[in-house]
Amino acid sequence: LQVEEQLRNALKTNELEVYFQPLVDIRNRNIIGAEALLRWHNLELGNVTPDEFIPIAEQTGLIISIGQFVLQSAFIAAHHWQTHFNNQFKIAINVSPKQFRENKFVDMLEALLTQYRIQPNSVELEITEGVLLSGDQIINNNLSAINDIGVSISMDDFGTGYSSLSYLRSYPFDTLKVDKSFINDITVDPGDLELVGAAIAMGHGLNLKVVAEGIETEEQYQLLNALKCDYGQGYLFSKPLPKAEFEALLYAQH
Ligand code: G
Ligand code: G
Ligand code: MN
Ligand code: NA
């Protein structure tokens, strides 16, 4: 309850901050974009992880205003990086089920794209199958509308759910993000290596780009490169960083 109270104030008191984790091209390790990841620094509670506060934000409805804040912050940063470093810079943003069930979600998204001068095709919205579970009409409508305006949709945490395959067939996904739990052991578990190889091949067969999450070692990286995975994310390249630190990485690359 205390967490809920504090979270209600977090936006007003500037306690929320969007961090950025590099998204790299597997072939050459160049940073081609970032995933926006929310952080909460509270005086009393310390740093609260998104795994703890996102569910509370969902239950209380606070996710609507918090989600809008994330989109805004990510777009402001992405516009700057597109202007100064790479006009193709990609920005990936997590969207939770409640946000996606809003009637106004796509209108809000379009307004922010215009306001911050972001090309729709540089934006990728990450959804988990939790978004699709309800099979709600409004979700189908939102997915089609997002696809129509040219914003990409990725399936996050791929492989961890129950029916990811049927969802891939039914919805307009552009990208598949293979969950880090599958990447962890690819250097020691031949079964996991086989699964990841199959996920990459299947993604490519369906015309999707494939991202491997949670790459921590050089050996994992080499295997994913050999498997022709498209993009990667993980501590090997960088943990999620505050905006200024992320920008220093980009600057070093240019
Ligand atoms: O950044 P990482 O450490 O710890 O994130 C944990 C979880 O929180 C991930 O599943 C991630 O998708 C989710 N998360 C992080 N930032 C956001 C956000 O801005 N919005 C939503 N809906 N989820 C987020
Ligand atoms: O669930 P989602 O994929 O949206 O969230 C990504 C989560 O993975 C974030 O919590 C992020 O901090 C975390 N993460 C990113 N790279 C790594 C990594 O290399 N190893 C581990 N263990 N976690 C990572
Ligand atoms: Mn994600
Ligand atoms: Na994930």
Token output for 148 = 């129509």
Q: 154, 180, 184, 219: which to mutate for ligand 2, most atoms within 8 A of CB?
A: 180
Closest by alpha carbon to 197, among 157, 161, 170, 224?
A: 224
> What separation in Å is there between the alpha carbon of 67 and the centre of ligand 2?
19
Residue length of the chain? 254
pLDDT in tens, 37-89: 999 999 999 999 999 999 999 999 999 999 999 999 999 999 999 999 999 99
* Residues in Cβ contact with 6 at an 8 Å cutoff, skipping those fewer than 6 apart: 42, 44, 45
54 Cβ closer than 6 Å to some ligand 1 atom: yes
Give the orientation angle of helix 50-60 with respect to helix 2-10, to 10 degrees.
80
Q: Is residue 43 part of a domain?
A: no
Structural domain containing residue 74: 63-237
Looking at residue 232, the DSSP 8-state letter turns out to be E
Asked casually if ipTM beats, i.e. exceeds, 0.85, the reply is yes
Residue 95 in any domain: the answer is: yes
Query: What pLDDT shows up at residue 185?
Result: 96
Say how far apart CA 159 and CA 133 lie, in whole Å: 15
Residue type, 161: G
Q: Is the CB of 232 under 6 A from ligand 1?
A: no
**What is the per-residue DSSP string for 40-94?**
EEETTTEEEPHHHHHHHHHHHSTHHHHHHHHHHHHHHHHHHHHHHT-TT-EEEEE
User: Does some domain include residue 55?
Assistant: no
In a domain, 24, yes or no: no
Mean pLDDT along residues 118-134: 92
Answer yes or no: pTM beyond 0.95: yes
Q: How far does the centroid of ligand 2 lie from the alpha carbon of residue 234, in Å?
A: 7
**Structure confidence at residue 163 as a pLDDT band (50, 70, 90):** low
Nearest CA, atom 13, ligand 1: 50
**Is the Cα torsion angle 189, 195, 199, 205 positive or negative in sign?**
positive
| CATH assignment at residue 168 | 3.20.20.450
Q: Which atom of ligand 2 is nearest to the CA of 94?
A: 4
Residue 101 CA to ligand 2 centre (angstroms): 25
In a domain, 46, yes or no: no
Domain count, the chain: 1
Q: Could you identify the atom of ligand 2 that is nearest to the CA of residue 215?
A: 19
Q: Is residue 19 part of a domain?
A: no
Please give the DSSP secondary-structure letter assigned to residue 122.
Answer: G
Residues 200, 209: Cα–Cα separation, whole Å: 8
Residue 213 CA to ligand 4 centre (angstroms): 7
124 lines ligand 2 (CB under 6 A): no
